[in-house]
Amino acid sequence: MVTDAASLPLANSKTGSRNAPVLVCITNIPTPYRAHFFARLARALDARGWKFEAWFMARSEQERYWTVDLSELPFEHRLLRGFSFRVPGAVLHTNPEVARCLAVTRPSVLIMAGSWAQPTNILAAMLARWVHQAKVVFWSESHLKSMAQTGPLTNLMRRGLLSLYDSFAVPGKLAREYIDKFASGRPTLQLANTVDELLFRDKVLELRRDRQSLRRDLAIPDHRRVLLMTARLSPDKGIVPFLEALASCDQQISSQTAVLIAGEGRLKSQIGRWINEHAALDVRLMGHLSEEDLLRLYAVADTFVLPSLRDPNPLAVVEALWAGLPLMLSDRVGNCFEALMPGENGWLFNTESSTSIKACLESWRASDDRVLSTFGESSSKIAEERFETSRVVESFLNEIISVLSAEC
């Protein structure tokens, strides 16, 4: 089916037609935040007379700890048959079944998420564009400072494979710069990552009413401010360099700060040893937490910190915004320009400079509770304006319809 302007309904007119245009999104694994977004996207497309399907390449991946009950997903979906293998820095999925699924479904629009080098993405993009004449969009979250491989041959392959796509969905400024470099001239569509606002705003707000009790449960002294970090325990997250900078700070800062790190990963033992060697500091590995326990930490925290060395577009930043927390982010965090307004809702630092990290920590500790409260209120406003799911979905659909109609 060739997508044309006539098949792109602009009005909210639910047709229920068996021949309604179909938008398919292929992504690596089911996750709670993708399930939340896809549910809203499916609802919005249904109101426009479209159908939606999500196809997953695998049930899970190493170092990914989410659990999603596929039977409870409120949208059409399928788990593609295939196999997976690890290469340095990535898990690659090969799903030959995608060829049959494309032939049966014949989507008008195909959105591909994940790595540009993902075998399933390459196969699906070629078939959808060249055989089925679908419009193919790549959902790209990478940025120039998040690339693991940057050699001339890799960049040549990157440019070649990105040329398979008609347009790109990007979450912000840094991701757009990446597309401008490797796929110049192709349309870019704004698509921010989203989380469930009811959890990270309403539930956290409810829990925060009993904040003192939650702090007592964690044995956090009243004089200590809490920095919360939710991240995989991997080198890319810059956890050890951040802790080293904290340890080198004036004792008034280090002794009055508690750092709670929620996550699992291959650096768990190394970070644990570091904590044991710096017993004077209050740094705690919380492990992989249930949703309820994670929400409690957001309610307890004074500020959210993410010192990543390489990070495409972390969802934890969006969670922290909805939780109404000030942010302390490295300039390598992919959504820092959209989520952080330095001096209004937090601090930005150079994660490769211990001096920059220390200056950030000193400014944070010198800010009184009133300033932190004001910063938290600003974070909540940014969440509402830039990351509210229904707003993101409607804006994206309006934009993609406009671009595709103009191309036809």
Q: What is the pLDDT of residue 1?
A: 29
Q: What is the pLDDT of residue 4?
A: 34
Q: What is the pLDDT of residue 88?
A: 77
Overall average pLDDT of the 295-314 stretch:
97
> Which residues on neighbouring strands pair with residue 56, listed in sequence order?
27, 79
Give 221-244 pLDDT, tens digit per residue.
999 999 999 999 999 999 999 999
DSSP for residue 323: T
The answer for residues whose C-beta is within 8 angstroms of residue 70's C-beta and 6 or more apart is 30, 77, 79
Q: What is the pLDDT of residue 252?
A: 87
Overall average pLDDT of the 245-249 stretch:
96
Distance from C-alpha of 203 to C-alpha of 39, rounded to nearest angstrom:
20
> Which residues on neighbouring strands pair with residue 94, listed in sequence order?
83
Overall average pLDDT of the 109-131 stretch:
96
DSSP for residue 402: H
For the chain, percent of residues with pLDDT exceeding 70 = 94
Domains of the chain in start order, with CATH, are: 5-194+389-407 (3.40.50.2000), 197-386 (3.40.50.2000)
Overall average pLDDT of the 40-51 stretch:
96
Overall average pLDDT of the 119-136 stretch:
96
Q: What is the pLDDT of residue 3?
A: 33
Give 313-371 pLDDT, tens digit per residue.
999 999 999 999 999 999 999 999 999 999 999 999 999 999 999 999 999 999 999 99
**Residue 6, pLDDT above cutoff 80:** no
What are the strands of the beta sheet with 303-306, ordered from one edge? 282-287, 257-262, 225-230, 303-306, 327-330, 346-349
Give 62-109 pLDDT, tens digit per residue.
878 888 999 999 999 999 999 999 887 789 999 999 999 999 999 999
Q: Nearest 5°: phi and psi at 51?
A: -110, 155
Distance from C-alpha of 300 to C-alpha of 322, rounded to nearest angstrom:
14
Distance from C-alpha of 118 to C-alpha of 173, rounded to nearest angstrom:
24
Distances from the Cα of 282 to the Cα of 112, 149, 223, 241, angstroms: 43, 36, 12, 16
pLDDT band at 402 (very low <50, low <70, confident <90, very high): confident
Q: Nearest 5°: phi and psi at 345?
A: -135, 15
The rounded mean pLDDT for the chain is: 93
**Residue 17, pLDDT above cutoff 60:** no
Q: Which of 162, 158, 45, 163 is nearest to 109 (CA)?
A: 45
User: Which comes out higher in pLDDT, residue 402 or 280?
Assistant: 280
Give 144-161 pLDDT, tens digit per residue.
999 988 899 999 999 999
For the chain, percent of residues with pLDDT exceeding 90 = 88
Q: What is the pLDDT of residue 15?
A: 41
Tell me, rounded to whole angstroms, the distance of Cα 89 from its chain centroid. Answer: 17
